[in-house]
Amino acid sequence: MATTQQIGRSSQPAQQSTPAGQFAPHAPIEIDHLSHDYGTRLALDGLTFDVRSAEIFGLLGPNGSGKTTLFRILSTLMVPTGGHARLAGFDVSTEANRVRLQTGIVFQATSLDVKLTVGENLMHQGHLYGLSGSHLKSRSKEVLDRVGLTDRKNDMVETLSGGQKRRVELAKGLIHSPSVLLLDEPTTGLDPGARIDLWNYLRILRDEQGVTVLVTTHLMEEAEHCDRLAILSEGKLVALGSPAELKAEIGGDIVQFETASADAATTLGARIADRFGVVPVVVDNAVRVEREQGHRFLTEVVEAFPGEIVSVSVSKPSLEDVFIQHTGHRFWLDQGEEKQ
């Protein structure tokens, strides 16, 4: 597919033809003290991180964490109120059109025209990106081939299944051979089989074409597929790293003691801290402790405070534990209404 990549880029100016930032001094996505204020609410609060070349990067956060705002800014639909975001070295606020040429976007809602055929949708998208003629035809054929929909080219989009539509969206996002692909909750509404397919396509893009992929998600199991993750909460970056690294930071096991009430949990948390010199996190009516050799610790605690514990559990840390560890609250409790 390396040759395809060259064909795809050949019509663009020389300085943009470097494949996916191989020699580029810039990271494909640089986010620098980025803030966004909707007037009444601070949606993003001084985010700073880079996305590396040819990685699948996940933005994980509950609704209202700011990931949709960040996605809007990266897709140049909204100008941030503070800080900078650069894609392929270009600033989203001041060089929007250069950013757009380098970026493929797959929105959460379908952006296809259902009254047009698959092929017509792709031709139209190509025209928007300045492609035309035989070059566009060959690109259209390539991307359809890539998502396995060549035989549906002349079918009306309204006759496709949800998974097939999502694949057309992906083809649409790739028509201009972008070096960065942004996807907003890409597996929403897909059945498990279609989800697996989509992730396979994303990996192929990363491995064979060196495309940098950014995916937003609110699903822990999706986030596990990413090479690296940024975890957002209330507009702030709370953790950054590969899923394995993030979970390893927690160390040993997660031991959880459930009590009868939130007050009881607070009391128990303080007493555990006193007695064992650990730093427990109290979430609702449960006390959570991260600890090597969790089963042994569990026995000690239950023996020390027998009357106060309703139930206990020991588990290997999950991404949800990472989230709780960094924010002190549960992932799903944070359901502030996200604006738009």
Partner 1 sequence: MATATAPTPASIGLTRLKTSLSSSLWIPAYSLWRRELVRFYRQKARVVGVIASPLLFWLVLGSGFSKTFQSHGAASAAASGSTHYLSYFFPGAIIMIVLFTAIFSMMSLIQDRNEGFLLSVLASPVSRSAIVLGKVLGGATLAAIQGWVFLVFCPLAGVHTTPLGMLYAMLAIALTSFSLTALGFVIAWPMDSTQAFHAIINLVLIPLWLGSGALFPVSGASGWLRFLMLLNPLTYGVDMLRNGLFPAELTTFSPEFNLIVTVVFCAVVFVGSWAVVNRRSNKPAA
Write down the least CB distance from residue 97 to partner 1, Å: 4
248 interacts with partner 1 by CB under 8 A = no
Question: CB–CB of 202/106 below 8 Å?
Answer: no
295 interacts with partner 1 by CB under 8 A = no
177 interacts with partner 1 by CB under 8 A = no
Among 86, 152, 167, 172, binds partner 1 (CB under 8 A): 172
95 interacts with partner 1 by CB under 8 A = no
CB-nearer residue toward partner 1: 16 or 285: 16
Torsion of CA 259, 261, 265, 268, to 10 degrees: -70
CB-nearer residue toward partner 1: 111 or 242: 111
Question: CB–CB of 88/181 below 8 Å?
Answer: no
Closest CA to 204 of 164, 167, 251, 245: 167
Write down the least CB distance from residue 260 to partner 1, Å: 45
Name residues contacting partner 1, limited to 38-67 (CB under 8 A).
Answer: 38
Which of the stretches 21-29, 125-133, 188-196, 215-223 binds partner 1 when contact is defined by CB under 8 A?
125-133
Tell me how many helices (H) and strands (E) the chain has. Answer: 12, 14
Task: Tell me how many degrees the CA angle 139-143-149 measures, rounded to the nearest 5.
Answer: 130
Which residue type is seen at 275? R
Write down the least CB distance from residue 38 to partner 1, Å: 8
127 interacts with partner 1 by CB under 8 A = yes
CB-nearer residue toward partner 1: 116 or 264: 116
CB-nearer residue toward partner 1: 51 or 73: 73
333 interacts with partner 1 by CB under 8 A = no
The CA distance from 199 to 203, in Å, is 6
Strands 286-291, 253-258: pairing is antiparallel
CB-nearer residue toward partner 1: 73 or 254: 73
The CA distance from 176 to 130, in Å, is 9
Provide the 10 A C-beta neighbour count for residue 109: 8
Provide the 10 A C-beta neighbour count for residue 159: 12
Which of the stretches 119-127, 230-238, 247-255, 258-266 binds partner 1 when contact is defined by CB under 8 A?
119-127
138 interacts with partner 1 by CB under 8 A = no
123 interacts with partner 1 by CB under 8 A = yes
Strands 180-184, 212-217: pairing is parallel
Pair of tokens at residue 169:
């969206």
Write down the least CB distance from residue 108 to partner 1, Å: 8
Residue 282 CB partners (closer than 8 Å, separation 6+): 262, 265, 266, 269, 288
Which of the stretches 51-59, 97-105, 185-193, 285-293 binds partner 1 when contact is defined by CB under 8 A?
97-105
Which residue type is seen at 122? L
> Please, what is the angle between helix 243-250 and helix 319-327, to 10°?
60
Rg over alpha carbons for the chain, rounded to the nearest Å, is: 23
Which of the stretches 74-82, 271-279, 291-299, 330-338 binds partner 1 when contact is defined by CB under 8 A?
74-82
Write down the least CB distance from residue 37 to partner 1, Å: 8
CB-nearer residue toward partner 1: 160 or 324: 160
Write down the least CB distance from residue 81 to partner 1, Å: 5
Q: What does the binding site for partner 1 look like in residue numbers (CB under 8 A)? A: 36, 38, 72, 75-81, 96-97, 100-101, 105, 107, 109-116, 120, 123-125, 127-130, 132, 172, 339-340
